[in-house]
Amino acid sequence: MLGYPQAVEHIQGFEENNLSTPDDCGDPTVPGDVNGDGIVNVSDLFAVMDALDPCDGCSDNLNSDEIVDVVDLLEVVGNWG
Ligand SMILES: [Ca+2]
Ligand SMILES: [Ca+2]
């Protein structure tokens, strides 16, 4: 068990790590990054959900088949962060 001061330091370190900018931030080729901001997050998830439909060639169609569907959603979730 960690004592109180050690536990606080541990939690602070954890939060700092989570808040740091990903190394690939700004990389337009991040898999699952629909809106091209370099991070796969809830914005990309909503972008795909909004586009759920037959949509050949749409940027939301991540696996390049002829439809935006749950497979594309899973591509976003699979590359989350
Ligand atoms: Ca994004
Ligand atoms: Ca697709």
Measured from the alpha carbon of residue 34, the closest ligand is 1
> How many structural domains compose the chain?
1
Q: What is the DSSP string of 17-80?
A: HHHSPPTTTT-TT-TT-SSSSS--SHHHHHHHHHT-EE-TT-TT-TT-SSEESHHHHHHHHHT-
25-36, pLDDT tens digit by residue? 455 589 999 999
Cα 26 to averaged position of ligand 1 atoms, centre (Å): 9
pLDDT tens for 9-58 read 655 555 555 544 455 445 558 999 999 999 999 999 989 888 888 887 88
Please report which ligand is nearest the Cα atom of 56: 2
Cα-to-centroid distance, 64 and ligand 1 (Å): 18
68: left (phi over 0), alpha (psi -120 to 50) or beta: beta
- Rounded to the nearest 10°, the torsion over CA 56, 60, 61, 66 is -30
Residues in the 5 Å CB sphere of ion ligand 2: 61, 63, 65, 72
How many angstroms does the Cα of residue 22 sit away from the middle of ligand 2? 26
pTM, whole model, 2 decimals? 0.52
What is the distance of C-alpha 76 from the center of its chain?
A: 6
Q: Residue 15's domain spans which residues?
A: 4-78
What's the DSSP call for residue 14? Answer: H
**Two tokens, residue 2:** 């960690």
